[in-house]
Amino acid sequence: MVWTELTEGLGQALAALGLLTPERLALVELAIPRERAHGDWTTNLPMILAREVGRPPRALAADLAAAFPADPERFGPVEVAGPGFLNFRYSARFLAALPARILAADAAFGRSDRGRNLAVQVEYVSANPTGPLNVVNARAAAVGAALVRLLEATGHRATSEFYVNDAGGQVELLGESVAARFAERIGVPRAFPENGYQGEYLRDLAASLPEAEARAALGSPAAGAWFRTHALERLVEAQRRDLADYGATFDAFVRESSIHDSGAVQATLEELRAKGVIYEAEGAQWVQTTRFGDDKDRVVVRANGLPTYLLPDIAYHRDKRRRGVQVSIDLWGPDHHGHILPLKASLEALGLERGFLEVLIVQQVNLMSGGQLVKMSKRAGEFVTLRDLMDEVGPDCAKFFFLMRSANAHLDFDLDLAKRQNDENPAFYVQYAHARIASILRYARTRGLEPGDAGASGEWHDQELGLVRQLAAFPEVLRGAAAAREPHRLPAYLMETAATFHRFYHECRVVSEDVPLSQRRLQLSEAARIVIRNGLALMGVSSPERMERGVEVEP
């Protein structure tokens, strides 16, 4: 990987000037500049070191540039620019050889080991098991699944988990709601609980229960538990299936009840107590999170002896750490951000590393149709589900739209636009480029032409070079997106790559009478196809070989 060679080269340059220390080497930041005129890679190292070394940035930059080891296989001469940047440019030889390397690497192109095998777990969706998944869950599923793939591709040991909140008051309410629906179905009077779950799906669920058993259970004192257990089983399975169809799979579904049953909750409390951060007040047990940055201490065991939500959550994360997870990235809904500080502080109180827990808030989604907000209310049972969304706009399109935006910004999802099967829909743009390349390769094959590097040493068109440069950035884009936990950089890069390909295609005839040139351009096109396909795969979006324009349906 180019990044490695640049870092090593800068280390050698520092050593040549007698400036090399491990601390300074760790300061090296390499980036791909926004402006093409600033080269293919750039570093601000001279400006960062200038003060410490006591030299003007530009003079330091000039010395570093001169001391940078020549590497004609990869780079041209190093340039000093602006207030003290060092800019690197790929050599012509490197660019000419890259498409062949991409074809050889194929599905592995873009992957790296920059994650150093760190064990990272992404916990996402973790919806309450009280009903179908909604559109925020759909957004979290798209982001979470993409993040897992991105981490895996960049050399992390990535795992995924879904935490099922199957303990506590709300699932009791669920059990009562289902029992009431079942009673209603068989004509037995039974009050529907106050604030119960109103959704129509519970009527369907009640109808699917084994009737004789349910009748027997209804009369017993344990009715709530029976209906709760059966409802949970069905609802969790339905969520799992919807997510799988959507392309979001999990290494494990962990149930909160299992954390209780294993004794981990009690053990966690005792461990906290041993750390001296638990005290009793007003009949309840409190954890001193204020010692670790929280605004106030938090109750972990209520006066009635039952734990609050926080304690099992601490226990769950403690359990993750004991299972070897080094970083836990949790994707939570916008209504949970008040919980971040208490949990982080609690985990620190328990002795876990400060950076163990990272929380990404997946912000709310406003569905827009006809310029109007689509109203959703879970209480009233009126909401658009993940399943609805897949049926309406298709899984590829839904995922593309969700991944285009950064997760922690509110999102207006334009259903009308997403449904449109034409050029106004940005989701098709990248897929179209892929299908177009596939088509070109098919056409070339009918003329007996295959990708090859016969013409690599010839004169290259600017658009060809521009495309190679764009493709060369792919590994670094993946690294950056994974490191920043920002999958949305992926579609942005792919849209740019597709545009770069289209420009190349417009200016450069691929299949022509010139056989070596045709082979070279076919190879370049195939390389672009591979990059687009690899990128879309990380997003969980398909890469069609062909696309049919959808039939326009007049409203």
Partner RNA sequence: GCGCCCGUAGCUCAAUUGGAUAGAGCGUUAGCCUCCGGAGCUAAAGGUUACAGGUUCGAUUCCUGUCGGGCGCACCA
Residues 422 to 451: which contact RNA by CB under 7 A? 422-426, 428-429, 432, 435-436, 438-440, 443-444
Report d(CA 22, CA 213) in Å as an integer: 70
Number of residues this chain uses to bind RNA (CB under 7 A): 102
List the one residue from 63, 176, 256, 319 that touches RNA (CB under 7 A).
256
Residue partners of 93: CB distance under 8 A and separation at least 6:
72, 73
The secondary element (H helix, E strand) that includes residue 373 is strand 372-373
58 is an interface residue for RNA by CB under 7 A: no
Q: Which lies closer to RNA via its Cβ, residue 323 or residue 337?
A: 337
Task: Return the C-alpha torsion angle 525, 530, 535, 536, nearest 10.
Answer: 90
Q: Which residues ranging from 301 to 330 are in contact with RNA (CB under 7 A)? A: 302-304, 306, 308-309
Q: Which residues ranging from 356 to 395 are in contact with RNA (CB under 7 A)? A: 361, 363-364
Q: Which residues ranging from 479 to 508 are in contact with RNA (CB under 7 A)? A: 480, 483-486, 488-489, 492, 495, 498-499, 502-503, 505-506, 508
Phi/psi-derived region of residue 288, left when phi > 0, alpha when psi is between -120 and 50, beta in every other case:
beta
Q: Supply the minimum distance, in Å, between the C-beta of residue 189 and RNA.
A: 28
Report d(CA 486, CA 524) in Å as an integer: 28
List the one residue from 275, 337, 354, 445 that touches RNA (CB under 7 A).
337
Give the interface segment with RNA, choosing from 3-11, 20-28, 240-248, 335-343 (CB under 7 A). 335-343
Q: Which residues ranging from 131 to 190 are in contact with RNA (CB under 7 A)? A: 165, 167-170
The secondary element (H helix, E strand) that includes residue 329 is strand 327-332
Site string for RNA, 17-46 (x = CB under 7 A): ------------x-xxxxx-xxx--x-x--
Give the interface segment with RNA, choosing from 112-120, 138-146, 201-209, 333-341 (CB under 7 A). 333-341
Q: Give the number of other CB atoms < 10 A from CB of residue 346.
A: 27
- Backbone angles phi and psi of 495, in degrees to 5: -65, -40
What is the b/e burial string over 47-59, where b = at least 16 CB atoms within 10 angstroms of the residue's CB? bbbbeeeebebbe
Report d(CA 179, CA 190) in Å as an integer: 8
Q: Which lies closer to RNA via its Cβ, residue 119 or residue 483?
A: 483
List the one residue from 77, 210, 276, 334 that touches RNA (CB under 7 A).
334
Q: Supply the minimum distance, in Å, between the C-beta of residue 486 and RNA.
A: 6
Q: Which spans in 209-360 are helix H?
A: 211-219, 223-246, 256-261, 264-274, 310-322, 340-349
Q: Supply the minimum distance, in Å, between the C-beta of residue 338 and RNA.
A: 2
Q: Which residues ranging from 186 to 225 are in contact with RNA (CB under 7 A)? A: none
List the one residue from 48, 62, 100, 236 that touches RNA (CB under 7 A).
48
Report d(CA 46, CA 87) in Å as an integer: 11
Residue tagged 């993750």 (tokens): 320
Q: Which residues ranging from 72 to 111 are in contact with RNA (CB under 7 A)? A: 81-85, 87
